[in-house]
Amino acid sequence: MPQWQGKSKGTPLGYRIFVFIIKTFGVNFSYLILRFVSFYYFLFSWNSTGHIYRYFHRRQHYGVLKSILKIYQNYYVFGQTLLDKVIVMAGIENKFTYDFDGEDNLREIVKGGKGGILLSGHVGNWEAAGHLLKRLNTRINVVMYDGEHQQIKEYLERVTGGHKLNIILIKEDISHVYAMGEALQKNELICLHADRFMEGNKTRFHKLLGEDAQFPVGPFLLAASFRVPVSVVFAFKETKSHYHFFGSSILTRKDDESKEQFVTRLTSTFVQDFEQKIKMYPEQWFNYYNFWQK
């Protein structure tokens, strides 16, 4: 069982320091400081570093030296995406530019009036690019585990205004399912991460980068149950100031298609698209546990 605990790295003090640096000295200087922070994690985060190395060496088939260099790059880009998320959502002046492939698909979903589900993963920086999707003229709800320390969450809500993206927390009493249903009735979009799961969740195996790995059934089952349009979406950082957003063609459950059949088709589509993207942007999969552990 993959040992992901639904928790994020970082401390409230760390976030405060970087927000202060961004506002005082600008984005470029913040990135410079981030290089030293990334090198610290590169040297001392032994557990996560080992998992990243095996991902680059065994799954992406990089040589030893290239795999080691990619570890540092992974930490550095991850730090950049965290800073970029705060910059964009807090309205701090920046020079970010974006390409949007598939925005028309999302507009078509909104036009349909039934709401829709966006399936994504822990890659790139969906939050930064997704924030700009406010021009779709509907609210975007992100469904996630309550994994960040409460102090970090409260600080980020203060610095970003706390209203740009609505958060629906996954709870044991399944109240999040009812919240999702209410959002869809209002023609809102629901974003679900479909590449991780907590212990006890129902999963199924799919081949990823040449080896079977477990994916959660829940996000795909919800999409099949709600019978609303679905799009697979990702956003990746291509340069220091440029992002590329991808939104797949719309998938819908056919009238003669059973729930299980649609779950199978949707899961296969997601995994194929997910694999394609992490081959294109290998250093932007921020996965710090053994994803392939049986």
pLDDT digits (tens, 9 = 90+) for 144-180: 776 554 555 565 566 555 545 677 887 777 888 899 9
Tokens of 214: 């477990």
Q: What is the pLDDT of residues 96-126, one digit of tens each?
A: 888 889 989 999 999 999 999 999 998 998 7
Contact at 8 Å (CB) between 181 and 37? no
> What per-residue confidence (pLDDT) applies to 150?
52
272-288: pLDDT as tens digits: 999 999 999 999 999 88
Query: For 179-202, how does the pLDDT look when each residue is reduced to its tens digit (9 = 90+)?
Result: 999 999 999 999 988 998 877 779
Q: Is the pTM of this model over 0.85?
A: yes
What share of the chain in percent tops pLDDT 70?
A: 84
Using CA atoms, how far residue 241 sits from 81, 86, 94, 97, 99, in Å, is 11, 14, 8, 6, 12
Take residue 48 and report the two structure tokens written for it. 């996560």
Looking at 8-17, 74-83, 112-121, 192-201, which range is the least confident one?
8-17
In the chain, the percentage of residues whose pLDDT exceeds 90 is: 52
Q: How far is Cα of residue 213 from the mean position of the Cα atoms in its chain?
A: 18
Strand 211-216 with 166-169, pairing: unpaired
Cα separation, 55 vs 246, whole angstroms: 24
pLDDT at residue 11 tops 90? no
Least Cα distance to 201 among 221, 184, 182 occurs for 221
Angle, vertex CA 194, rays to CA 152 and CA 192, nearest 5:
60
Residue 67 has pLDDT above 90, yes or no: yes
Whole-number pLDDT of residue 54: 94
The first and second tokens of residue 2, run together, are 């993959």
